[in-house]
Amino acid sequence: MKFGTKTIHAGQKADPTTGAIMTPIYQTSTYIQNKPGDHKGYEYSRTANPTRTALENNLAALENGKFGLCFGSGLAAVDSIIKLLSPGDEVISTNDLYGGTYRIFTKVFEGLGIKFHFTGMDNIDKISSLVNENTKMVWAETPTNPMLNIIDIQALSNISKENNLILVVDNTFATPYLQTPLDLGADIVMHSLTKYMGGHSDVVMGAAICNDEKLAEKLYFLQNSCGAVPGPQDSFLVLRGIKTLHVRMQRHCENGKIIAEFLQKNPKVNNVYWPGFENHTNHDIAKKQMNDYGGMISFDIVGNKLEDAVTVVSNTHFFTLAESLGGVESLIGHPASMTHAAIPKEERERTGVVDSLIRLSVGIEDVDDLVSDLKQAIDKV
């Protein structure tokens, strides 16, 4: 099955009792047992629920993995993945990381005895120098948020395998339409399904996908033991959203390219960060590991004044000022005061998140409307 067919069919069959084409919302907590232990594979909905199972199998198929697990949010997926570790263990992570992931690493898990090293992952030697006998995991996000750096997943996988480390890739920004990290040697793919996968800004959910049976068993144990599972209604919504993932992503990429090029030509715009540009620092890696370049773009304003960024983000009409990304509608954000406010100023500026940086999640509206919307807002600076 090819990708666009998988989005619609993988993991799902017509309901055996009624023939319903869409997987029903199995709004039930428990399941009948004829004799103790004699059931149809479902005992209790924290452990498993048929609507969730369909989504989990669909996700596994899209990521070319064997096992898919859903969680109540992207951060609940992060939580369970880090719980594979024990106190004293160390993790090497991307430095320009999603703010919430940075927060759970440093404010929750550091307190429980896990140590995190944050580094730019463009230089593999830097990663090697951080590995010691306690290192157990490498955590990467690519493209990174909000700087749109691209990390070489294959190179990370090589160094992870050499040192027996679990490589986790947060694939939220790319989605399996653009890249499949398991094929490049990652051990676990993590998602915030809240973003492109759900795609309609109407649900919060997360996932982990892997190929290794032992790793999957541990994750299932954590999913069931910690209990941060999504309900059947939300699972249905994400399943439905994924049916158009390939069509939406194609348009996100087309619109993204046009807007990135418009920004690059605008005299009030300083840097434009979009991996599709040939002069983007990591364009070669993007070209090698991604099918296209996506609809996430960041840029800063000439003069780097915070108030200029505020002027732009407060004056767009189709780009809505809001947290989050990946929905059908275009969003605009100011990382320094919104998504990345939890990261100390020196640390955020070191990674490029300057005061005037603006992040766009380009939606799938008519691109002419989006371009003129941005133009009139930037003209106000």
Which residues are near ligand PLP by CB under 6 A?
73-75, 98, 100-101, 141, 145, 170, 172-173, 192, 194-195, 204, 206
Closer residue to ligand PLP, CB minimum distance, 72 or 276: 72
Contact (Cβ atoms closer than 8 angstroms) between residue 377 and residue 312: yes
Contact (Cβ atoms closer than 8 angstroms) between residue 34 and residue 167: no
Q: How far apart are CA 61 and CA 12, in angstroms?
A: 11
Torsion of the alpha carbons at 148, 183, 61 and 66, rounded to the nearest 10 = -120
Residue nearest to ligand PLP (CB): 74
Q: Which residue from 270, 311, 342 is spatially nearest to 105, judged by alpha carbons?
A: 342
Radius of gyration over alpha carbons of the chain, in Å?
A: 21
Closer residue to ligand PLP, CB minimum distance, 131 or 253: 253
Token reading at 30: 């428990």
The nearest distance, CB 39 to ligand PLP, in angstroms, is 32
User: Which residue in the list 15, 31, 42, 46 is annotated as catalytic?
Assistant: 46
The nearest distance, CB 252 to ligand PLP, in angstroms, is 14
Q: Respond yes or no: is residue 234 known to be catalytic.
A: no
The nearest distance, CB 323 to ligand PLP, in angstroms, is 8
Q: Respond yes or no: is residue 46 known to be catalytic.
A: yes
Q: How far apart are CA 171 and CA 321, in angstroms?
A: 24
User: Which residue in the list 6, 26, 52, 98 is annotated as catalytic?
Assistant: 98
Q: Respond yes or no: is residue 195 known to be catalytic.
A: yes
Please enumerate in sequence order all residues whose Cβ is within 8 A of that of 281, keeping only pairs 6 or more positions apart, or say none: 122, 149
Q: Where are the alpha helices (DSSP H) in 63-186?
A: 74-82, 99-103, 124-130, 153-162, 175-178
Closer residue to ligand PLP, CB minimum distance, 54 or 197: 197
User: Which residue in the list 52, 195, 348, 359 is annotated as catalytic?
Assistant: 195
Closer residue to ligand PLP, CB minimum distance, 173 or 262: 173
At 38, the amino acid letter reads D
The nearest distance, CB 291 to ligand PLP, in angstroms, is 19
Question: How far, CA to CA in Å, does 22 sit from each of 5, 60, 137, 195?
Answer: 15, 19, 38, 22
Closer residue to ligand PLP, CB minimum distance, 12 or 339: 339
User: Which residue in the list 170, 234, 300, 373 is annotated as catalytic?
Assistant: 170
Contact (Cβ atoms closer than 8 angstroms) between residue 147 and residue 273: yes
The nearest distance, CB 325 to ligand PLP, in angstroms, is 6
Q: Give the three-state DSSP class for 83.
A: coil
Token reading at 277: 């540009």
Closer residue to ligand PLP, CB minimum distance, 285 or 367: 285
Contact (Cβ atoms closer than 8 angstroms) between residue 139 and residue 181: no
Hey, which residues are catalytic here?
46, 98, 170, 195
